[in-house]
Structure formats: structure tokens, C-alpha cells
Structure 1
Amino acid sequence: MTSNSSKSKNNNRIKHLATAVQQNPDDTFSKFALALELLKENRVEKAQLLFEAVLKQDPEYLGVYYHLGKLYQSRGLYDEALQLFRDGTELAAKKNDLRTKSELHEAILQLQFEMDD
């Protein structure tokens, strides 16, 4: 597969998901998926806005804590990332989602290591 073909497929996914979000602004799954696709295209600001919208709209959407936290971390927003990882860890524990809790805990440890450098 050529990179042009791959890029074209990603653009089609982005268009499809953007249309889904426009047609149903309450669809947090489509917003989340669109944010992930935008990240692949290095469209960080738009991805961040979508992740933040998902978090505000549905604070129980567990996946957003890791991905928005990592995005914040990559932008040097360490305190915000740390808070998201901690909040997500609490939510994962409440939902008894041990895998996600473990992933978020690992993200906290990595971030703290990065902050100590």
C-alpha cells in the first residue's frame, strides 16, 4: 500500500466521521474516533478540542482520559495530563476496568519520570 493510498483512506475516514459528528453532535464515539484520526494526521489542536468536548459531554467515557492526557503530555501540559490520568484511574477503578486502570497508572509513572528530568 502506498502512503498516498493510506492518506486517502484516512481522509475518507475523517470526512465520514466529521459528517457523523455534524449530523449527531451528541455522538461521543464518533467525536472520539475523529479525534484519533486527526491525531494520525498531526492535527493536534482539532483533536484536542474534540477530546475535550467528549470529556465535557461524557465524563464517563473512559478512553478519553488516556488519549487526552497523552496529548497534553506531548504538548508539555504536564499538570493537566497528570490530573487526567489520576481522574481516569479513579473512574477505571469505579468501573472495575482493571486493564485501563493499569494503563493509566503506567502513564502516571511515565509522566512523573518525564517531569523529574
Structure 2
Amino acid sequence: MKSRIEQLQEYLKEDSNDSFLRYALALEYVRVEKNDAATDCFLKLIKDDENYIASYYQLGKLYESLNHLEKAVIIYKKGIEIAQKSENKKTLLELQEACNMLLEIDEDDQ
């Protein structure tokens, strides 16, 4: 029986531009703690489809878990810009809250 990662990779062979499949693959890498592969997937997805807004939140959370807080803030801010342009209020709020929490942590450390 194939793993979810193998299944998603097969589907992507048929349609390598499917942003949902690429997002699902990145999340699967996060789930099995293949963090470098997950990061690469998210970054490539954002590069190729900057409007796939959920990627910014998930990549930011991944960076947080790896203690790359500056990178997380940068990704959240980029996602905030995209969410504002697309008028996606729910995701905008989630990204703003995540970013603000990190910025508050940064202020507390100083």
C-alpha cells in the first residue's frame, strides 16, 4: 500500500501545476516531520501560485516550529498583502493574529 506522500506525488505527475495537490503534499511532509521537504514544497507553491493564501499561514507555522521566527514574520506579512488584495478576510485575520503574536514575543525579548 502506498503512503499518502507517494499517492500525492503520483497525482502530481499527472498535473504538476495543481496547487491543492502541492499544498496537500507539503502538509503531509509536515505531518511526518520532513521539514526541509515541506519548506521546499511551500516555497515552490508560493513562487508558482502566490495567491494560494493558505500556504503562507502553514509555512509561517512551520517556520515557528523550527524557531525561524524572522522568516515566519516575513511569510505572514507577505500572506497579509495577498489576503488584502484578494479580500479574503478570514485568512487575513488568521495571518494578522499569527504575525502579531510573533511580533509581541519579539518585543517581550527586548
Query: Does 89-98 or 19-28 show the bigger shift?
Result: 19-28
Count of paired positions? 108
Please state how far the C-alpha of 1:57 moved relative to its aligned partner: 0.6
**What does residue range 1-117 of structure 1 map to in structure 2 within 5 Å?**
12-115=3-106, 116-117=108-109
Of 45-54 and 70-79, the range deviating more from structure 2 = 70-79
Provide the TM-score with structure 2 as the length reference.
0.87
Describe the superposition over 1:44-89 as per-residue Cα deviations: whole angstroms up to 9, x where unpaired: 1111110011011111111111011111122222222111111111
TM-score of the aligned structures, taking structure 1 as reference length: 0.83
Work out the CA distance in 1 between the residues paired with 2:31 and 2:51.
24
Q: Percent identity?
A: 33
- Note the residue ranges of structure 2 that are not aligned, 5 or more in a row: none
Contiguous gaps of at least 5 residues in structure 1: 1-7
Match for 2:48: what amino acid? Q
Cα offset, 1:13, TM superposition:
2.1
User: Distance in 2 between the 1:112 and 1:35 partners?
Assistant: 26
* Range 31-40 or range 69-78, more displaced: 69-78
